[in-house]
A = this chain, B = another copy of it.
């Protein structure tokens, strides 16, 4: 029996259902934010499954969780696959979790099929990919890759003022695992991450597998407008400095300036805070976030210029500023891994298409360490970061079959 045949669709689906109970919401989604009690519960559940199969587990100083199936060559570098188990505040059951469970299913399939590999195969659950409780996101993989400083990250606070270091200690106390010595990060021979597309392209093309060629670049900004609080009943329009009206003019112009013909640019205002927030007081201050993404960094650069011009032009009579918070350039995956994913998909007779990833993923950090690629499967109507996020057992299993074939080949190079 080959590894792909040993993938068990119902086992993989049941594991998703079991994980969805941890932080499950009435609408059928999950609220399993990074380093929460629900996160700890998910770590314990994965650990118990690993133990049952005789796989070893370990964690590192940022809380990344590793499940390891040994290879035959004690000196060979491991190949790794995985994603994250934390979710958005109103997240779905497949975002991240699928990549972790598909990797674990691959380990089980290799075991069930009696496939020996030269290299160890490691399933990983990266800490805090979502970045909704602690910023920045993709934190665990970024620290593993040396892109973020461990000590800085340990000092990050959530909006309640909880320090990440303390939340991590709580989590590892509730979900203990052997601690790896030293700073996070160890040499890898290859990395492949499976994930739901989180967009509608595969479903619209009636295609099962997305061969991911790259991750688009993304930039985040905070726009602030300052006006003057005034009485809503007495202050004539001409005498007002309405900070929300100014933010609205700016945002309105920005939506227009980012409306590209081919609909490739992603522009989102996701968080808006208006102060003081009293119905009968003219707002004195407004801040909002911008998330802008495109596969071509030059396009992002050009639009950043436009956004800055709009802020300068539309603020009066208020004052306004725009601050760039992060800028992640596009990531191009390894041609060898891309070709291998495409080849295995074709060998399994699965429909497939090459595509860039619209979302950021932990793979964008690991791609700097070793040959890296990703495998996408469709999700219903492309909806993600939403409690109604959905995918089919068949598609999830298909992606796992491609994954285990790729891992088996990488692990025997």
Residues of A within 8 A of B (CB): 88-90, 131-132, 137, 197-200, 216, 218, 220, 228-239, 242, 244-245, 248-249, 251-252, 255, 259, 263, 266-272, 274, 276-284, 289, 291, 293, 357-360, 381-387
Instruction: Assess the A270–B263 pair: CB atoms within 8 A.
Output: no
Distance in angstroms from A311 CB to nearest chain B CB is: 16
30 A–B pairs (Cβ distance < 8 Å), ordered by A? A88-B276, A131-B280, A132-B278, A199-B236, A200-B235, A200-B236, A200-B239, A228-B383, A228-B386, A229-B387, A230-B385, A231-B358, A232-B270, A232-B385, A233-B357, A234-B384, A235-B266, A235-B358, A235-B382, A236-B266, A237-B267, A239-B381, A239-B382, A242-B268, A244-B272, A248-B255, A268-B282, A270-B280, A279-B291, A280-B291
The CA of A242 and the CA of B268, in the complex, are separated in Å by 9
Q: How many copies does the complex hold?
A: 2
Residue pair B229, A385 in contact (C-beta under 8 Å): yes
> In the complex, A357 Cα to B234 Cα: how many Å?
7
Q: Which residues of B contact A284 (CB under 8 A)?
A: 90, 386
Would A263 and B283 count as touching, CB distance under 8 A?
Answer: no
Instruction: Find A198's partner among B231, B255, B269 (CB 8 Å cutoff).
Output: B231
A230 touches B276 (CB 8 A): no
Report if A386-B244 is in contact (Cβ < 8 Å); known contacts: A199-B234, A274-B271: no
On chain B, the residues within 8 Å of A383 by CB distance are 228-231, 235
- How far is B268's CA from A274's CA once the two chains are assembled, in angstroms? 13
A325: min CB distance to chain B, Å? 9
- Contacting residues, chain B, for A269 (C-beta < 8 A): 244-245, 283
Interface of A is mostly: loop
B280 touches A385 (CB 8 A): yes
Residue of A137, A267, A271, A360 with most partner-chain B CB within 10 A: A271
Q: Are A278 and B248 in contact (CB under 8 A)?
A: no
With both chains docked as a complex, state the minimum distance between the C-beta of A245 and any C-beta of chain B, in angstroms: 6
The interface residues of chain B lying within 8 Å CB-to-CB of A234 are 197-199, 266, 357-359, 382, 384
* Nearest neighbor of A242 in chain B, beta-carbon distance: B268
Bound CA–CA A197/B231 (angstroms): 10
A255 to B271, CA, bound (A): 22
Known contacts A198-B234, A233-B358, A235-B383; 10 further A-B pairs (Cβ under 8 A): A88-B278, A198-B233, A232-B268, A234-B359, A237-B259, A237-B263, A268-B279, A271-B274, A271-B277, A271-B279
Give Cα A384 to B283, complex, Å. 12
Residue in chain B with minimal CB distance to A271: B277
Partner of A255, one of B228, B245, B382: B245
Chain B residues whose CB sits within 8 angstroms of the CB of A267 once the complex forms: 237
A245 to B288, CA, bound (A): 13
Give the Cβ gap from A166 to chain B, nearest Cβ, in Å: 23
Q: Are A278 and B233 in contact (CB under 8 A)?
A: no
Contacts of A238 in B (CB 8 A): 263
The CA-CA distance from A251 to B283 in the complex, in Å, is: 14
Would you call A90 and B359 a contact (CB within 8 A)? no
The answer to whether B216 and A291 have CB atoms under 8 Å apart is no
Q: Provided the pairs A90-B229, A248-B251, A252-B248 are in contact, do residues A281 and B385 lie with their beta carbons within 8 angstroms?
A: yes
A291 to B244, CA, bound (A): 14
A88-B281, A200-B239 known; A272-B270 Cβ under 8 A: no
Q: Which of A218, A245, A385 is packed against the most chain B CB atoms within 10 Å?
A: A385
Of A197, A216, A252, A357, most buried by chain B (CB within 10 Å of CB) is A252
- Distance in Å from the Cβ of A322 to the closest Cβ of chain B? 14
CB distance from A406 to the nearest CB of B (A): 23
Using A88-B276, A382-B239 as known contacts, say yes or no to A293 and B360 having CB atoms under 8 A apart.
no
